[in-house]
Chains A and B, each alone.
Chain A
């Protein structure tokens, strides 16, 4: 009884601020879909176009989710934005494009050949990107672990530029076509007037097993436990006998592998690769990670899907030249309303 009389509750102004923090971001997120839904109902009398955006958004968002997980994992463990992560994703796409050419896969190849070829390509792209990410950590971040926080961030930007130019030299400055192996635009089936294309199916089919594997690995396995422990408190983890260096390398490996898989899906989905895709793609995925709450795996997936949806709506209705500006605008709005993201807990930096 006595305990109940002590807390007077927060002041009104603080409560208002908390409300804005909680619902402001959601209101901002719902703004575009609601406007377009009203527009659709007025113009077409149904919501098919919006539903089509949702479907494309989910399959597109799956790519960003995979990349965003890389950001979130690394941020969770060493509190660093791995700026070069977008470039790792780009390299994944480039490995895919090159390997598809080397294996001689074309649209005309038999289904079995395409399927097994893609599986091989997926494995190589994942391994290549994962190893690249580990190397980046070894070269650019590990020597600076005790330096002020600005230092690894600056090397991260530097690495990103180096890799971008590697991509530029590898495939040239123009967009390069990739054989349309999965027949991306082909309609698989239609529900309620919404078409599901092969590309959508591919992205879902690759992403969901990978996500399940990843969450299981992190939640169940010994190494996953070590990762979570290191993320919580590196010093205590070290005292408990966890090899922090190995664990950090492992985190970069996992993040890079997911980015490599995302690179493959992107190459198949868009059927073009470009050295600059990593820069914009990385920023979009980072926005997704922040939107869900950085350091939070489920948040990264949620954020990826939401950003994919926003991107599709913007591409479809406003014009694709505005899409980056709109996505970055959302990034700024998240920072204004709720820096900890939709699902994230309060982090030390974005409190």
Chain B
């Protein structure tokens, strides 16, 4: 026993090349520097559209972190993540706008809102309350979506979640023709607009003219979500997720409760999507059924694949990169490149081919992502070694 233990450290992994970042820097200094830059950024610019893009990018990071819990940690491929965006957004549309104009005899229902909004018709809740509603609603929806997939494994989960995402998208479009009272349940493609702006206690209400508070609010959400993400990953639940991802049979044999663990993954992943969806709805000032398409799920998936499945900082990097690509590079910088080459289309038309290409290339060339999670990297390397032995690793 002791012999084996003393021999074990003699074969260290010396294959790491290049300079190594000291762990203190990796854990503390780099995130701190990035955080300070992110917080101070609005002081150096007054370009409102730039700040709006940054706020959207931060919201995307929150969403990607949520999907990362389901796909990266628990290994359940969720292709219907847009459903939670939709539910979060409709929470804002329903509970914080003038949409239900006939509610309470056209006097409106108000909860913890002040200023001119307290006089308006419709249902107006404080944004923080709406966030809580969105978290509860999406967590429930996540569990409902998770339930039928519990008995399934692998790719069936992908299809069922995709089907759910499509059903929610269809409902958002079609419930335009179904009324409660005098108002359609969703406004379909017209969209619910305007919706209430964020109004926090002790602060002036946010406006569409100055977007800096929105950006800082998004950063606060991101900080909260990052904290929860790290704590969850290192918790008992997080380790159970990773165990299930690595080998479900072995994990269950070791006493990991599969049902509870998977449902928790769906619920917590979904609630992040709901938070982000509610914020985006309020920021963009509209809840429109056209936003909730399958391609959005793929955009978020591409973010976590690019950054590295299961790696929290990787997902942040991937989400920021793709947000820049999606909102700035493709529409503004390289949009006319095909036209300049004599081809008759714009880059924006084939945006999703770019993401599809990214998915394929990443999976083939660097499946661990840009900033890989250590464990996942090892898993992939191990599979590569045994490839000759097992032609198909599919069998358990």
Taking CB atoms and an 8 Å cut-off, the chain A residues in 139-196 that contact chain B are 139-140, 143-155, 157-162, 164-166, 168-169, 173
Nearest A-chain residue to B75, judged by Cβ: A150
Q: Contact string, B348-381, partner A, CB cutoff 8 A, digits 1/0?
A: 0110110111111001100100000000000110
Which of the residues B151, B170, B345 comes within 8 Å of A169, measured between beta carbons? Answer: B345
* Distance to closest chain A CB from B359 (angstroms): 3
- Partner of B364 from the list A143, A149, A244 (CB cut-off 8 Å) is A143
* Binary contact track B221-251/A, C-beta < 8 Å → 1, others 0: 0000000000000000000000000000000
- List chain B positions with a Cβ less than 8 A from chain A: 71, 75, 77, 79, 147-149, 151-156, 158-160, 162-164, 166-167, 170-171, 173-174, 294-295, 298, 301, 305, 309, 345, 349-350, 352-353, 355-360, 363-364, 367, 379-380, 383-384, 386-387, 390-396
The answer to whether residues A81 and B364 also contact, given A150-B75, A162-B357 and a CB cut-off of 8 A, is no
Residues of B within 8 A of A1 (CB): none
- Please pick, from B75, B294, B363, B387, the residue contacting A155 in the complex, using a CB distance under 8 A: B363
Knowing A161-B298, A324-B170, A336-B148, say if A283 contacts B162 (CB, 8 Å).
yes
> How many interface residues does A have (CB within 8 Å)?
55
A153 to B367 CA separation, bound complex (whole angstroms): 12
Q: How far is the CB of B170 from chain A (nearest CB, A)?
A: 4
- Distance, CA A279 to CA B356, complexed state (A): 14
For B344, give the chain A residue with the smallest CB separation.
Answer: A169
Q: Closest approach, in angstroms, between the C-beta of A94 and any C-beta of chain B? A: 16
Residues in A neighbouring B155, C-beta threshold 8 A? 79-81, 149, 153, 349
Expressed in whole angstroms, the Cα–Cα distance for A244 and B390 within the complex equals 13
Decide if A161 touches B353 in the complex (CB within 8 Å): yes
Interface presence of A205 (CB below 8 A):
no
Give a binary string over A193-204; 1 marks a CB under 8 Å from any B CB, 0 the rest. 000000000000
User: Chain A 219-252, CB within 8 Å of chain B: the 1/0 string?
Assistant: 0000000000000001100100000100000000
Q: List 19 A-B contacts (CB under 8 A).
A: A78-B394, A147-B393, A150-B309, A152-B363, A154-B77, A154-B305, A155-B364, A159-B360, A161-B352, A161-B356, A161-B359, A168-B349, A168-B350, A169-B349, A283-B163, A290-B159, A321-B174, A328-B166, A350-B153
Please state if B356 and A79 are interface contacts (CB–CB under 8 Å).
Answer: no
Contact A78 B392 (CB under 8 A): yes
Once the chains bind, are A332 and B349 in contact (CB under 8 Å)?
no
In angstroms, Cα B166 to Cα A350, docked, is 22
Chain A residues engaging chain B, CB cutoff 8 angstroms = 78-81, 139-140, 143-155, 157-162, 164-166, 168-169, 173, 234-235, 238, 244, 279, 283, 286-287, 290, 321-322, 324-325, 328-329, 331-332, 335-336, 339, 348-351
Q: Using Cβ atoms and an 8 Å threshold, which residues of chain B touch A143? A: 364
B residues near A154, Cβ cutoff 8 Å: 77, 301, 305, 359, 363
Residues of A within 8 A of B170 (CB): 321-322, 324-325, 328
CB-based contact A144/B166 at 8 Å: no
Name the contact of B393 in the complex, choosing from A146, A160, A336, A351 (C-beta under 8 A). A146
Question: With the chains together, A79 CA to B301 CA distance in Å?
Answer: 22
CA distance A348 to B173 in the complex (A): 37
Give 19 A-B pairs besides A145-B392, A157-B298 with Cβ atoms closer than 8 angstroms: A79-B392, A144-B363, A144-B367, A147-B367, A150-B77, A153-B154, A153-B155, A153-B158, A165-B350, A235-B390, A283-B159, A283-B163, A321-B170, A321-B174, A324-B170, A332-B163, A332-B164, A335-B149, A349-B154
* Minimum C-beta distance from B366 to chain A (A): 11
In the complex, the chain B residue whose C-beta lies closest to that of A286 is B159
> Cβ of A162 and Cβ of B353 under 8 Å apart?
yes
Q: Which residues of B contact A153 (CB under 8 A)?
A: 77, 154-155, 158
